[in-house]
Structure 1
Amino acid sequence: MGLREAMRTSGAERTFTEEPVPDEVLARVLDDARFAPSGANAQPWTVIVLRDPEIRRGVRELSVLGWREYRAQVKAGLRPFAPGPDGRWHGPGVDLAEAAATPQPMTFIDNLDRAPVLLVLCARLTALAVADVDLDRQSIVGGGSVYPFAQNVLLAARAEGLGGVLTTFLVRREPAAAKLLAIPADHAIAGVIALGYPQRRATRLTRRPVEEFARLDTFDGPAFPGPASRGTTL
């Protein structure tokens, strides 16, 4: 499979068959993903491959709580955990304790521990060059040394005929998850990646055209024309 096809068909896949993923396949996925870029080539990631049923169940239970908090904000008409226009977070807008105690059924999260492959992605904090750490807004730069690896995992999985998705609900219960998974204090949880053979055939995704997000010279500059505007198709 070519890179272009993989990028255009690697959507968030949350439904898997019960067919197990051979260790040889997962090993190839991780072997390809390790070539992701990172600041100063620090490669700050550690991947925990979850096999133990009790640990998997614990990760699922903690993730469910994060999902409930997320869903409660969506139902309230909010963008979950999003900073305000000033770039800072001003609170969830809902009672998070109440949200976590209120069931919000979702087949994928409620059965997360049944995913054929379950990976917890961790980042070594001391290896991140967080250039925006002192700006008066939400910091995002540190993730640039971690999430390209996560995307590489998903693309490499797609090339192997797998589907997958990255979730971050577990981060909402990081202290408990760190204890469960024996994660050291100088590491953070970046997310959980679920992989498996998809129940449905991958299709091309629908996304905003280039003209809607690319600008010339300044943020308010004219649109940079994409292939459609140039009379070409891919």
Structure 2
Amino acid sequence: MELIEALRTTGAVREFTDEEVDDDVLHRVLDNARFAPSGGNAQSWRVVVVRDLGLRAQLRDLYLRGWYDYLAMAKAGLRPWAPTNDPEAEKIALAAFPGIAAESAANPGMAEHLDRAPVVLALFADMSLLAATDRDLGRYGVVGGASIYPFAWNVLLAGREEGLGGVITTMATREEAAVKTLLGAQDPLALAAVIALGYPVRQPRRLRRATVDAFTTVDRVDGAPFRASG
């Protein structure tokens, strides 16, 4: 697949066929993904291929706790866990957790079936290797992710070349301590994401995104929108 086509059509895939993903295919995906950039070329990622059915079921259950919180906040009109959220508004929204959980259990989706995904990867970041230049700014840190999430995205792109689809999800990080215990991860490893991969039920199509001039300006944030000369 050509690069531009892959960039424009690689979206989140949450429904997979029952076809197994061969180990050689998954190895090629990871072998190609490893060329992602990272600060100082530290390559701070560590990947666990979760195969054991018992571990998968426990990981799914840990994942669901965060997922139902996410749904409860979204239903209340909040952007889940946005650093600017009003804590009291989140508290009120989360009171709906039991009802949300019951509704979702009655209409299960990928979250409830995470353990059945053909491939489940737990992606950890070695915090001792992250050049987090915004560490001391007194705000929510984002820079360290630049050394780990390009690898996660490369997994999806490399998977697309193999006919796979997948999704990068951070929901299980809400239960990071339990996940680390489950998968034998020690400090300074931090859970960055869980990635599900498989052969998609439906092939991805072109995605819809905001146009360049909607998020790009000239010289200043409040400057003129940047547009092509033509």
What TM-score, normalized by structure 2, do the two folds share? 0.93
Per-residue Cα deviation, 1:145-200 (whole angstroms, up to 9, x for no partner): 00000000000001111000001110000111111011102110001000000001
Aligned match of 1:131 = 133
How far did 1:111 drift? 0.3
Letter in 2 for 1:162: L
Q: Which runs of 5+ in 2 are unaligned?
A: none
Q: Which residue of 2 aligns with 1:208?
A: 210
- Cα 1:212–1:97 change in 2 (3 A) is closer
CA distance in 1, matches of 2:93, 2:80: 11
Give the residue type in structure 1 aligned to 2:17: T
Report if the CA contact (8 A) 2:119-2:197 is conserved.
Answer: yes
Instruction: Report the CA distance shift for 1:54/1:97 in structure 2 as closer, same or farther (over 3 A).
Output: farther
* Kept in 2: contact 1:18–1:116 (CA 8 A): yes
Residue 96 and residue 181 in structure 1: after superposition, are their counterparts in 2 closer, same or farther (change >3 A)? farther
Letter paired with 2:219: D
Residue type matched to 2:53 in 1?
P
What is the distance in 2 between the residues matched to 1:95 and 1:30? Answer: 42
For 2:92 and 2:182, locate their aligned partners in 1 and report how far apart those are by CA, in whole Å: 26
Instruction: State how far apart, in whole Å, the 2-side matches of 1:99 and 1:42 are.
Output: 42
Match of 1:47, SS?
strand
Confirm or deny that 1:158 pairs with 2:155.
no
Q: Which runs of 4+ in 1 moved over 3 A?
A: 95-102
Higher helix proportion: 2
Give the length in aligned residue pairs: 224
Deviations 1:19-38 (A, max 9, x none): 00111110010000000000
Which amino acid counterpart does residue 59 of structure 2 have in structure 1? V
The SS at the match of 1:122 is strand
